[in-house]
Chains A and B, each alone.
Chain A
């Protein structure tokens, strides 16, 4: 399968601060790559270099076989970008916002109503953007990124600050795009989102990629499986006990628990991406 995004030694500095430090990765056609890291890790700087808003100080990147430094306008014709911040034209209507971008991309027979229905904004077409809630604005942002039916989608902190329902609906649109065949570059500090959406996850910390694999492989490689047992305490309160799996002592420890305490529930649990991130970097994602 062809590589749609190829980053080689991408580097960017703000003064003395190295925001992105010689990172390299590849994303295949139709894959979703999740760039996972805490605030200030270098996710948005990488994002901005890939979409042509920042020029890499070292290294290079290719999108759809084209160089971001020399062929960025050709690249822009085939990508959709959704920023972390809401940057819509708030005074004009939802419809006019989308029509503007359809004209900029030269989209023929653009059907804004169909697109807005897809993101759950039917009936809001004529509303000025400034009257919409944050969740609705984010849906308009997604719709705007999809105006040109892009081959590659760049999504920066897609569901940051949104309610769970809006987040879930937006994620389902992204999965539809993957089904269509779009390649998706997603930055997030939400491990649940990265786990749910991404084919591959890159952990970025202090400007460097510290791990890059499928969520499943990362969990196998770095995660520790465990059993979570709820037992009844003396005052009838519930207490939590953890027993690590994949250990010689595991059967005996579980047996002992059943012997010595009143077990209420037993659940096996695999490590989350957050656990693995902490394991690798010593930092939490929410920092």
Chain B
């Protein structure tokens, strides 16, 4: 590979990308719109007040009393169900009330009730939930018991670090910013093959790897730079090193998707059609960030989950390199597969 050849090709690819007003517009508009969205979203979180209870004993009176305070109460059939509704944030907290509570109270023992809370519950709310638990027991049995609340935090323990919706959306916005660029990259590749301009390059000293690297550079310019600018405006320099690594690997992953779409597309329209399909599939894991617990583990088969989850961790939970390196490897591995397949398809198409 020759630096001057790659530079000339990359300059041409970037020039062609921005000559297409549609792709130029979605790149610039995407960046601006997501920044505006970020700043108009609420800075604080506002969760619905509700509790879940799992118990084998009759708690009718207590439930009625709590409901009178405008608190929603959900009775679950199992401890597992209770965990799920807390994890999905359908309720603020869940209580497991043991069936032998009365017998043990009579013996004068200290009773332990389990309190499930989501990882990002605020400390004041957690205290309030413990209080509600004690009141619940008092309401049912008519007298106070020696209760010891045992807290079980579901997910990461981030007490006091409630995430405002706009911060939660940052990883999603970054993902949207860079995934949109697959359309442009795929179109440039498909167009090059469709118009046979690639043959004019192949009869010069430029090699196929030169062409691929130049397209990759164009991809990096159109994915990494907008995402980087967005991060600077919204996140700043928080956990900057890890975030840069993720943006770089995320961009490489997205470029590989662009290559793949470009390799299977006949022209610009089919590149856009395939691009939209991939966009829909790859966006699915983002739902887990917007509404935690909304998707089950199967979503991990979609490689974009490695990017969105790790971005969420780095931006909102301060995840370290130790926590994200597996995601980086997974992104790199996925990118290598897509690049490999695209290379084979493209070579077959123009040789």
| Residues of A bordering B, CB below 8 Å | 51-55, 73, 76-77, 79, 81, 83, 85, 87-92, 96, 100-101, 103-106, 144
| CB-CB under 8 A for A73 and B205, given A87-B196, A104-B9 | yes
B1-47 CB contacts (< 8 Å) to partner A: 4-5, 7-9, 11-12, 15-16, 19-20
By CB atoms of chain A within 10 A, which of B4, B9, B200 has the most?
B200
The main secondary structure of chain A at its interface with chain B is loop
A81 and B164 CA atoms in complex are apart in Å by 60
Q: Is the interface of B mostly helix, strand, loop or mixed?
A: helix
Q: Are A53 and B5 in contact (CB under 8 A)?
A: no
Known A77-B205, A92-B15, A92-B19: A106·B200 in contact at CB below 8 Å: no
The answer to whether B8 touches A103 (Cβ under 8 A) is yes
Chain B positions 199 through 216: 1 when the CB is less than 8 Å from some CB of chain A, otherwise 0: 111111111000000000
Enumerate chain A residues within 8 angstroms of B20, measured Cβ to Cβ: 91
Q: Name the one of A76, A85, A90 contacting B203, with C-beta atoms under 8 angstroms.
A: A76
Residue of B5, B9, B16, B205 ringed by the most chain A CB atoms within 10 A: B205
* Residues of chain B contacted by A92 (CB below 8 angstroms): 12, 15-16, 19
A-B CB pair tally, cutoff 8 Å = 64
- Min distance, Cβ B218 to any Cβ of chain A, angstroms: 14
The answer to whether residues A81 and B351 also contact, given A92-B16, A96-B15 and a CB cut-off of 8 A, is no
Determine how close the nearest CB of chain B comes to the CB of A35; give it in whole angstroms. 17
Q: Is the CB of A83 within 8 A of B196?
A: yes
**Candidates B15, B195, B204; contact of A101 at CB < 8 Å:** B204
Q: Which residues of A contact B200 (CB under 8 A)?
A: 81, 83, 87-88, 101, 144
A-B contact pairs, 25 of them (CB 8 A): A52-B202, A53-B199, A53-B203, A54-B351, A73-B207, A76-B204, A77-B205, A83-B196, A87-B195, A88-B197, A89-B197, A90-B195, A91-B16, A91-B19, A92-B12, A92-B16, A100-B11, A103-B4, A103-B7, A103-B8, A104-B5, A104-B9, A104-B206, A105-B204, A144-B200
